[in-house]
Amino acid sequence: MSRKSAWAAGIFGGLLLLATIVLSLAVGVVDLTLGETLEVLFNRSSAEPTVEAVVWSIRLPRIIVAMLVGAALATVGTVMQAILRNPLAEPGITGVSAGAAVGAVAAIMLGATGSARWGIPLAAFAGAAAVSFLLLIILQTRRDLGTATIILVGVSFSALAGAIINMLIANAREDSLVRSALFWLAGDLELRTWDHVLLLIGPVVLGVTFLFTRTHALDALSLGESTAATSGINVTRERIVLLLVASLVTGAAVAVSGVISFVGLVVPHAIRIVVGASHARLLPLSAVGGALFLALADTVARGAFGSVIVQTGVVAALVGAPIFLFLLLKRQSS
């Protein structure tokens, strides 16, 4: 695809994202018309207090969190697929998401669901950071590890984390704590506030921006380690830095949203079909696509099922799993 076509795809994706934001602000228990939504969005002082609170205090921060998480997971998925040379790689493959889940579930079991609104996200990020630095230590001490071994290390981390989570849930003091843990593990953006936006925006924006600067290295690594080395890339150092940054971005996203699957799998595959394998185009368009995908999934979760409670992560899986299966089968037949 030409640069002009890539720009056209980016502009089209951006316009779709803006339309999704307006739609998401209007949809919910309190339905708003397009005029009411635009009025309260651009002329906040003249809006009714109830409508102003719904848009600015409830829906807008939730939408921003959805976009940040979606952009983060899609970008990291693209990076993981390049450095591990595995089309099935995704943000949780290194075990970072599982580490975040351990931290969050432990915080829930300790009763951090009430007044400590920062308790669960911070505990989740601590778990993700612990796995990230453990992975860093392994990569630094065993520089000869191949991509397949790194994936198996992530599988081991995830299995260990799953065992710890099962133990924590089995020994929960109250059934309500179990429900809270399971709800978080399914991935949801309910009751996300501006505090969560502030917690998320720094690490995601900085991390994703750094990954955008490594497009040349990602192009080289996706062709193989020997090709990357002949291109002047320090393969070991580059892989360690990229994995660590990608893991920390994943940890920040998962800490706020819970475990949401398929965004980092489906979006990069779909974008790659449109724009090709050049990461200079693939990374930014994946970020836009991930933000759009998760914002739409959250809008559907809030507005399409009436009184039935459906988590954002469930909608992402219901949509993402069939799309990914289709893309995978199409890839195998081509």
What is the reported pLDDT for 115?
A: 45
Is the pLDDT at 8 greater than 90? The verdict is no
Centroid of chain to Cα 305: 23
Give the model's pLDDT for residue 176.
85
184 pLDDT exceeds 60?
Answer: yes
Residues whose CB is less than 8 angstroms from the CB of residue 306 and which lie 6 or more positions away in sequence, other chains included: none
CA distances from 98 to 1, 71, 233, 271, 322 (A): 37, 20, 31, 26, 23
Return the pLDDT at 168.
93
Compute, in degrees rounded to 10, the torsion defined by CA atoms 168, 169, 175, 178: 110
- Tell me the C-alpha distance between 288 and 268, whole Å: 11
Nearest in space to 314 (alpha carbons), one of 183, 192, 124, 196: 183
Chain segment 255-311, per-residue pLDDT in tens: 899 999 889 989 998 898 888 889 999 999 999 999 999 999 999 998 877 667 788
What confidence tens digit (pLDDT) does each residue in 312-329 have? 999 999 988 888 788 777
Q: Check if the beta carbon of residue 191 is closer than 8 Å to that of residue 246.
A: no
- Report residue 160 CA to chain centroid gap: 22
Copy the structure tokens of residue 301: 């979760």
Question: Mean per-residue pLDDT for 133-157?
Answer: 81
Q: Average pLDDT over the chain, rounded to whole?
A: 87
> When comparing pLDDT for 150 and 39, which is higher?
39
Q: Residue 98: pLDDT above 60?
A: yes
Other C-beta atoms within 10 Å of 28: how many? 16
Supply the pLDDT for residue 72: 96
Residues 226-236, mean pLDDT to the nearest whole number: 84
What pLDDT shows up at residue 146?
Answer: 72
pTM: 0.90
DSSP single-letter state for residue 46: G
- For 179, the token pair is 């429900």
Q: What domains, with CATH codes, occur in the chain?
A: 60-333 (1.10.3470.10)
Mean pLDDT of 198-215: 94
The pLDDT score that the predictor gives to residue 324 is 77
Mean pLDDT to the nearest integer, 167-194: 88
Q: What is the pLDDT of residue 15?
A: 94
207/211 Cα distance (integer angstroms): 6
* DSSP run (H or E) holding 128: helix 119-141
**What residue type is assigned to position 135 of the chain?**
L
Backbone torsion region of residue 118, taken as left when φ is above 0, otherwise alpha when ψ lies between -120 and 50, otherwise beta: alpha
Whether the per-residue pLDDT at 47 is higher than 90: the answer is no
Beta carbons within 8 Å of 35's beta carbon, 6+ residues apart: none
> What pLDDT is stored for residue 65 in this prediction?
96
